[in-house]
Amino acid sequence: MTKAFFDHISTTPLDPRVFEAMRPYFLDRYGNPSSHIHDQGQAALRAVDQARAEVAALIGAKAGEIVFTSGATESNNLAVLGAAEGAGAAKRHVVVSEVEHFSVMNALIPLRNAGYEVTVLPVDRTGGVDPDAVRKALRADTALLSVMHANSEIGTIEPVLPIGRIAKEAGVTFHVDATASAGHIPVDVGEIPADLVTLSAHNFYGPKGAGALYLREGTKVAPRTFGGFQEMGYRAGTENVPAVVGMGAAALLAGREMGAWAEHLTRLGKTLWDGLATIPMLHYTGHPSERLPGHVSFWVEHVEGESLLLFLNMKGVMAASGSACSSNLRGHDEEDLVASPVLRAIGVPSDICTGSITFSLGKGNTADEVRSALDALPGIVERLRAMSPTYLDYQKRQVKGG
């Protein structure tokens, strides 16, 4: 049976070339970059500096503007909490879109508790933020605006260029979470007027446990971890050298190859998108064209998401659901089961929110794998519908009405 992984938005497989670049830093080169008085420390410092330059090059930044972190969550926390504090006591207002990742949304909890006012910008049916709404939301006391570059659940690419210009005019620090987009589509800080950009290595064929925050020169950010003077004082703690090296290697590859990857993903994504159209009562989510390459998301009437994913997995097809029902299976109690805030935000009726499915393709996927998914889906949909009382009622209504 073919095993096809279509959940690259959750993580990507490590590129073997990245692994080779990392390998020496597990065993032979174990130095601490802060102990650069000797050869081992110097080798580590050079490796971290090189990775910093490689990550910077991916987004058109200077090496000195890249702070390594443990991943996107830490970068987002540092951006939101650090920039809010860095803006000074007079600025107590933060603006975010309603489709931001949990690591932005939940970082607002301590801010609210500390008396900050938060404005949450609504999105349209495609998940897009309206730049005019941003303009209206920004105030003299706004410390930070945070809008993601692309949404992992529905694939929509946000208009960060016009939004960034508005933030710049207003003199508001602008944070862009580029976790889902960096390494897949161009992210250029020479073009996007962002002050802070979140990057995650394992989302572009790098290792888990490595991320970065771009800080435009002059941006005021207060640290969230306290200790030594690593990472220019923004992030204390010995660097995860092998992972940082891996992030640099992955950034280098992405910079060189992302155009070819995107072409491949766009082609496969179109095959999948078009093939799905034969399934009755299937609805695509997100923007039809302004979306990540190879990202296909949808929901199917009268079909519950987790059940569909379990059957797909049995057929060797691994995809994801925006449904809290499946994503929070390891939650502590049923309070953790909430409908996806993103799907709610784009107006998907709550009675089918549990049916949302995300296929996120990667550079290693093949046309045969896409075909296997398209072959498996109609039968599973039919099988689950045959079991569903809501579908039975629908059919009876059709007979009566027809």
**Residues labelled catalytic:** 325
Which of 112, 110, 100 is closest to 76 using CA atoms?
Answer: 100
Strands 211-215 and 196-200, sheet pairing: antiparallel
SS3 294: coil
Distance separating alpha carbons of residues 369 and 302, to the nearest angstrom:
26
Distance separating alpha carbons of residues 3 and 369, to the nearest angstrom:
8
Only segment of 180-188, 240-248, 283-291, 324-332 that touches another protein (CB under 8 A) = 324-332
Only segment of 56-64, 108-116, 260-268, 384-392 that touches another protein (CB under 8 A) = 384-392
Strands 117-121 and 93-97, sheet pairing: parallel
11 contacts another protein (rule: CB under 8 A): no
> In the 8-state DSSP scheme, what is residue 185?
B
329 contacts another protein (rule: CB under 8 A): yes
Q: How many residues bind another protein (CB under 8 A)?
A: 33
* CA-based radius of gyration for the chain: 22
CB of 334 to another protein, least distance (A): 5
351 contacts another protein (rule: CB under 8 A): yes
Only segment of 94-102, 141-149, 174-182, 329-337 that touches another protein (CB under 8 A) = 329-337
3 contacts another protein (rule: CB under 8 A): no
Burial of 309 (0-12, 13-18, 19+ CB in 10 A): buried
Binding mask 282-321 for another protein (x = CB under 8 A): --------------------x-xxxx--xx-xx-------
1 contacts another protein (rule: CB under 8 A): no
Only segment of 6-14, 62-70, 250-258, 388-396 that touches another protein (CB under 8 A) = 388-396
> In the 8-state DSSP scheme, what is residue 303?
-
Q: Are 198 and 175 in contact (CB under 8 A)?
A: yes
CB of 80 to another protein, least distance (A): 28
Distance separating alpha carbons of residues 176 and 22, to the nearest angstrom:
28
CB of 323 to another protein, least distance (A): 7
Nearer to another protein, 151 or 323 (CB): 323
Count of CB atoms within 10 A of residue 44's CB? Answer: 25
390 contacts another protein (rule: CB under 8 A): yes
375 contacts another protein (rule: CB under 8 A): no
Which of 212, 340, 239 is closest to 30 using CA atoms?
Answer: 239
Nearer to another protein, 231 or 304 (CB): 304
Strand ranges, E, within 188-278: 196-200, 211-215
CA distances from 51 to 47, 167, 214 (A): 6, 30, 13
Sole binder of another protein in the list 2, 350, 366, 395 (CB under 8 A): 350
Q: Say which residues have a Cβ less than 8 Å from residue 41's Cβ, sequence separation at least 6.
A: 31, 32, 33, 34, 35
Sole binder of another protein in the list 333, 368, 399, 400 (CB under 8 A): 333
CB of 380 to another protein, least distance (A): 11
Nearer to another protein, 232 or 387 (CB): 387
Nearer to another protein, 114 or 329 (CB): 329
Task: State the residues that interact with another protein by CB under 8 A.
Answer: 302, 304-307, 310-311, 313-314, 323, 325-326, 328-334, 336-337, 339, 350-352, 354, 386-392
